């Protein structure tokens, strides 16, 4: 809620909710934060796709001298096993980015479907789903993800599974709220009276109103997914060595912390990706109406 | 009317709290039973597995020969009695280890909460006051960067540069090596040293606390800044603010005297989230500072796959988290009695 608004709102249109007035989504090109976010994401996607060409060394080969400080030949230095840190960070994008998309798609789909069904049908289905959501919200996310990942056994797939299990409730809660709002609106009542089936009203009338906010939430959650995955790998519960996953490299770097370059650069990579998603998601959220925007406040 | 409504509301929240607490144990039971293969093999050290008597005794103690629902009841009974299982690594009871590690984390978390509360409310109010102007935009970018920060990396970088290289902050641990711990009363170095009247140890302990607490607060300050901003903006639109403005009060006086007071109530509701995220943060941060709290314990347990310990820590954190949310709910109903009617 900042930056130059495209037009000055008329004084009498002061928003009683206290939030910013909804900004048209096409105005996104005038929002510096969104542009920075899109530019960073595009850069990282290109780097990930072209990692094979751009990386000066094999991310796994251990043939270089160990613990070289950053220099022209090795801009990010080398690690304790004689691997080029820059190459590892570049290849790391091939893990974090697709995994984040996979995570958000999976948990977003599961959560949205459950939330939509709960909100639309109400009754005991609603009770069961929402009590389950409450239970998951009783745990701070990384703590529960850590427990599940540890129980399943430490590897990347299990970490992804664990994060899906802990992150679907966010979507379920938001989608249920939105569906509840629209279910009782006049236009949905009207189509129901005209004889439309519940499936048809849900898919044709309610869903289009839910998709926008869910996409905004998903953008913000992409950042969270990268953070959670890196966090689990840092704990040794995600990607296993020698994988060049960013969190795992920071973990290696923390063991030889006086060689600052090993941990610093992959951490900057995590920061820049998560920041990009948050910049974009936050701007998109401002384009929603204030009440919907407030429902999408992330947790922890 | 007041007291009765308050009691009815509190009783309702208490029931919800107990249901949630039981549900939390159910989830942790289900997660424990996810372990592929034999839970006995996962829970007992290899040496004990060779002894069939120990294995049989273990099976009986945790009701592993019973059907799952009965196993859950046995588990629940054990948890209620404070038996959280035995750590695979040291063979000590998880509850004992938790008791040993909790004070160090509590000390750290409390300081981090205080730091983030002061800074977050100040920054948020500032942002709302300068809505859409430069300070607001700068704070927005700062808070977005803050919530994007991988906290374990921030800990590493902050420690390397501020402590190791520049020496602004003392090194790892709770006290400078060689400094004796103050006599244990609460287990918190700063509190115990003050109780013992030992100012030098207090200063040393506080110095060691500061950097990890600041690192932990980075995320929550950002969170609270944004939350305070919207809470203050909401109050700024209220009629009583308009009245105050009509009386000719200056902007600063209005914010200080009227707005902040009204905005503090909704801000209190995020205390649970704040504490929860700081406790999660300790899992990723304490190891880097060699801080002997539950975070380091959880980290060590995670890297060694010490499942009973991991479950003990997550159960503990979840219970602390829902307890704080319960207290916040009740407090909030005292501050703003309208919520009791919902």
Q: Which of A229-233, B54-58, B234-238, B304-308 has the highest mean pLDDT?
A: A229-233
**Taking the CA of residue A85 as centre, how many other CA atoms within 13 Å lie in the half-sphere pointing to its CB?**
31
| Per-residue pLDDT, B28 | 86
**Domain membership flag for residue B213:** yes
> Which residues on A lie below 8 Å from B230 (Cβ)?
18-19, 294
Mean pLDDT, chain A, rounded, equals 85
Q: What total number of domains does chain A contain?
A: 1
Give the span between the Cα atoms of B194 and B187, in whole angstroms. Answer: 12
Of B235, B305, B321, the CB nearest to A154: B305
Instruction: State whether A19 and B280 contact (CB < 8 Å).
Output: no
SS3 of chain A: helix, strand, coil, percent, to 5: 70, 0, 30
Q: Do B37 and B108 have their domain in common? A: no
Give the span between the Cα atoms of A94 and A245, in whole angstroms. Answer: 9
For residue A17, the distance in angstroms to the closest alpha carbon of chain B comes to 6
DSSP 3-state assignment of B86? strand
Instruction: State whether A254 and B152 contact (CB < 8 Å).
Output: yes
**Domain membership flag for residue A57:** no
Looking at residue A208, what DSSP letter applies? H
**Domain membership flag for residue B224:** yes
Q: Name beta bridge partners: A84.
A: A78
| Predicted model pTM | 0.88
Element (H, E) at A165: helix A156-183
Give the span between the Cα atoms of B325 and B330, in whole angstroms. Answer: 9
Give the span between the Cα atoms of B170 and A142, in whole angstroms. Answer: 29
Instruction: State whether B233 and A154 contact (CB < 8 Å).
Output: no
Domain limit, last residue, from B54, B80, B106: B80
Q: Do B218 and B182 have their domain in common? A: yes
Q: Do B158 and B131 have their domain in common? A: yes
Q: Is the pLDDT of residue A285 over 90?
A: no
Closest CA to A157 of A89, A220, A103: A103
Q: Is the pLDDT of residue B261 over 50?
A: yes
Closest CA to A270 of A235, A237, A224, A236: A224
Instruction: State whether B302 and A16 contact (CB < 8 Å).
Output: no
Q: Is the pLDDT of residue B98 over 90?
A: yes
Region B240-250 average pLDDT: 81
Region A8-21 average pLDDT: 39
Q: Is the pLDDT of residue A17 over 60?
A: no
Of A140, A263, A297, the CB nearest to B276: A140
Instruction: State whether B144 and A33 contact (CB < 8 Å).
Output: yes
Q: Is the pLDDT of residue B332 over 70?
A: yes
Tokens of A14: 């002061």
Q: Is the pLDDT of residue B171 over 90?
A: no
Is B119 near chain A, with CB under 8 Å? no
Give the span between the Cα atoms of B5 and B142, in whole angstroms. Answer: 42
Domain limit, last residue, from B32, B51, B80: B80
> Which residues on B lie below 8 Å from A277 (Cβ)?
148
pLDDT level of residue B235 (50, 70, 90 thresholds): confident
**Domain membership flag for residue A249:** yes
| Per-residue pLDDT, B335 | 78
Burial B41-75 (b: 16+ CB within 10 A, else e): ebbbeeebeeeeeebeebeeebbbeeeeeebbebb
Q: Is the pLDDT of residue A300 over 70?
A: no
Continuous H helices in chain B: 2-32, 39-43, 46-49, 52-61, 68-80, 94-129, 134-148, 151-158, 189-195, 199-236, 239-246, 251-254, 260-268, 271-285, 294-303, 307-335
**Domain membership flag for residue A6:** no
Q: Is the pLDDT of residue B225 over 90?
A: yes
Q: Name beta bridge partners: B86.
A: B93
Residues 19-58 of B with CB under 8 A from A: 20, 23-24, 26-28, 31-32, 34-36
Q: Is the pLDDT of residue B182 over 90?
A: no
- Contact (CB, 8 A) for B262 and B238: yes
Q: Do B33 and B102 have their domain in common? A: no
Write the pLDDT tens digit of every residue in B275-317: 888 988 999 999 899 999 999 999 888 888 888 898 899 899 9
Q: Do B151 and B23 have their domain in common? A: no
**Domain membership flag for residue B180:** yes
pLDDT level of residue B42 (50, 70, 90 thresholds): low
For residue B325, the distance in angstroms to the closest alpha carbon of chain A comes to 9
- Domain of residue A155 covers 27-51+84-299
Region B1-18 average pLDDT: 85
Give the span between the Cα atoms of A20 and A2, in whole angstroms. Answer: 8
B291 phi-psi bin (left φ>0, alpha ψ -120 to 50, beta other): beta
pLDDT level of residue A3 (50, 70, 90 thresholds): very low
Tokens of B224: 């609270």
* DSSP sequence for B141-175: HHHHHHHH--HHHHHHHHIIIIIIIS-SS--SSSS
Q: Do B65 and B135 have their domain in common? A: no
> Which residues on A lie below 8 Å from B137 (Cβ)?
2-3
Mean pLDDT, chain B, rounded, equals 86
Instruction: State whether A274 and B288 contact (CB < 8 Å).
Output: no
Q: Which residue of B has its CA nearest to A255?
A: B288
Give the position of tokens 């390397």. Answer: B160
> Which residues on A lie below 8 Å from B145 (Cβ)?
271, 275
Closest CA to A237 of A161, A136, A139, A135: A161
| Per-residue pLDDT, B154 | 95
Write the pLDDT tens digit of every residue in B109-164: 999 999 999 999 999 999 988 888 999 999 999 999 999 999 999 999 999 999 88
| Per-residue pLDDT, B35 | 67
Q: Is the pLDDT of residue B201 over 70?
A: yes
**Domain membership flag for residue A283:** yes
**Domain membership flag for residue B52:** yes
Q: Is the pLDDT of residue A99 over 90?
A: yes
Of B26, B283, B307, the CB nearest to A151: B307
Q: What total number of domains does chain B contain?
A: 2
| Per-residue pLDDT, A18 | 40
Q: Do B166 and B20 have their domain in common? A: no
Q: Is the pLDDT of residue B197 over 60?
A: yes
**Domain membership flag for residue A244:** yes
Instruction: State whether A151 and B28 contact (CB < 8 Å).
Output: no
- Contact (CB, 8 A) for A14 and A264: no
Chain-centre distance of CA A191, in angstroms? 35
Q: Is the pLDDT of residue B209 over 50?
A: yes
Residues 153-212 of B with CB under 8 A from A: 153-154, 156-157, 159-161, 164
CATH label of the domain that carries residue B325 = 1.10.3720.10
**Domain membership flag for residue B87:** no
| Per-residue pLDDT, B263 | 80
CATH label of the domain that carries residue A172 = 1.10.3720.10
Q: Is the pLDDT of residue A275 over 90?
A: yes
Give the span between the Cα atoms of B156 and B142, in whole angstroms. Answer: 20
Pick among B141, B152, B236 to test the A interface (most A CBs inside 10 A): B152
- Domain of residue B322 covers 94-341
Q: Do B75 and B197 have their domain in common? A: no
Q: How many CB pairs under 8 A join A and B?
A: 181
Tokens of B57: 């005794």
Domain limit, last residue, from B80, B110, B126: B80
Q: Do B106 and B75 have their domain in common? A: no
Q: Do B257 and B311 have their domain in common? A: yes
Give percent of chain A above pLDDT 90.
Answer: 47
| Per-residue pLDDT, B105 | 94
**Domain membership flag for residue B89:** no
Q: Which of A181-190, A257-266, B148-157 has the lowest mean pLDDT?
A: A181-190
DSSP 3-state assignment of B91? coil
Q: Do B176 and B293 have their domain in common? A: yes
**Domain membership flag for residue B134:** yes
Q: Do B62 and B153 have their domain in common? A: no
Q: Which residue of A has its CA nearest to B227?
A: A297
Region A205-221 average pLDDT: 90
Region A241-270 average pLDDT: 91
**Domain membership flag for residue B85:** no
Q: Which of A70-84, A167-181, B248-262 has the highest mean pLDDT?
A: A167-181
ipTM of this predicted complex? 0.87
């Amino acid at each position: 809620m900042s930056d130059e608004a495209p037009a000055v709102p008329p004084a009498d249109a002061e928003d009683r909710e206290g939030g910013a007035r909804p900004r048209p989504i096409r105005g996104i090109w005038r929002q510096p934060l969104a542009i920075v976010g899109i530019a960073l994401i595009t850069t990282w996607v290109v780097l990930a796709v072209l990692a094979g060409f751009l990386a000066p060394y094999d991310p796994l080969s251990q043939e270089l001298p160990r613990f070289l400080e950053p220099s022209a030949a090795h801009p990010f230095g080398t690690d304790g096993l004689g691997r080029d840190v820059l190459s590892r960070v570049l290849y790391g994008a091939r893990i974090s980015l697709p995994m984040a998309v996979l995570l958000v798609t999976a948990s977003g789909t599961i959560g949205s479907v459950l939330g939509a069904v709960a909100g639309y049908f109400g009754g005991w289905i609603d009770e069961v789903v929402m009590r389950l959501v409450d239970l998951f919200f009783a745990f701070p996310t990384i703590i529960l993800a850590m427990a599940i990942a540890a129980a399943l056994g430490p590897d990347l797939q299990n970490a992804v599974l664990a994060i899906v299990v802990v992150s679907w409730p966010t979507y379920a809660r938001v989608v249920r709220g939105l569906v509840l709002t629209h279910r009782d609106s006049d236009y949905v009542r009207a189509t129901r009276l005209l004889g439309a089936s519940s499936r048809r009203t849900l898919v044709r009338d309610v869903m289009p109103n839910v998709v926008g906010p869910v996409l905004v939430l998903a953008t913000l959650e992409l950042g969270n997914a990268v953070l959670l995955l890196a966090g689990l790998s840092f704990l040794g519960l995600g990607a296993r060595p020698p994988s060049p996953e960013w969190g795992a490299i920071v973990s290696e770097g923390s063991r030889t912390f006086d060689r600052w370059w090993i941990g610093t650069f992959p951490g900057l990579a995590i920061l820049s990706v998560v920041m990009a998603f948050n910049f974009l998601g936050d701007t998109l959220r401002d384009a929603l109406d204030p009440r919907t925007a407030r429902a999408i406040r992330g947790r922890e | 009317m007041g007291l009765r409504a308050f009691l009815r509301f509190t009783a309702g929240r208490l029931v919800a709290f107990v249901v949630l607490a039981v549900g939390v144990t159910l989830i942790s039971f289900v997660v424990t039973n996810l372990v592929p293969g034999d839970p006995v093999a996962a829970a007992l050290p290899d040496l004990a597995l060779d002894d069939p008597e120990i294995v049989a005794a273990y099976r009986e103690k945790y009701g592993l020969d019973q059907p799952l629902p009965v196993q859950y009841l046995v588990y629940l009974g054990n948890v209620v009695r404070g038996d959280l299982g035995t750590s695979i690594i040291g063979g000590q009871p998880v509850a004992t280890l938790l008791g040993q590690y909790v004070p160090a984390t509590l000390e750290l978390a409390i300081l981090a909460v205080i730091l983030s509360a002061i800074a977050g409310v100040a920054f948020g109010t500032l942002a709302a006051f300068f809505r859409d102007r430069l300070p607001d935009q700068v704070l927005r970018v700062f808070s977005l960067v803050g919530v994007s920060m991988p906290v374990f990396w921030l800990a590493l970088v902050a420690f390397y540069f501020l402590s190791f290289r520049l020496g602004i902050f003392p090194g790892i641990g709770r006290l400078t090596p060689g400094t004796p711990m103050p006599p244990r009363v609460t287990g918190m170095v700063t509190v115990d040293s003050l109780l013992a009247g030992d100012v030098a140890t207090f200063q040393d302990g506080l110095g060691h606390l500061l950097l990890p607490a600041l690192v932990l607060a980075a995320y929550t300050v950002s969170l609270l800044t944004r939350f305070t901003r919207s809470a203050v903006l909401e109050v700024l639109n209220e009629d009583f603010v308009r009245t105050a403005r009509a009386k000719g009060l200056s902007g600063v006086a209005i914010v200080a005297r009227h707005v902040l007071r009204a905005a503090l109530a909704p801000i209190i509701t995020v205390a649970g989230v704040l504490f929860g995220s700081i406790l999660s943060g300790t899992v990723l941060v304490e190891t880097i500072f060699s801080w002997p709290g539950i975070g380091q314990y959880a980290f060590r347990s995670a890297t060694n796959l010490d499942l009973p310990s991991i479950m003990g820590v997550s159960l503990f954190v979840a219970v602390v988290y829902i307890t704080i949310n319960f207290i916040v709910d009740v407090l909030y109903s005292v501050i703003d009695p309208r919520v009791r009617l919902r």
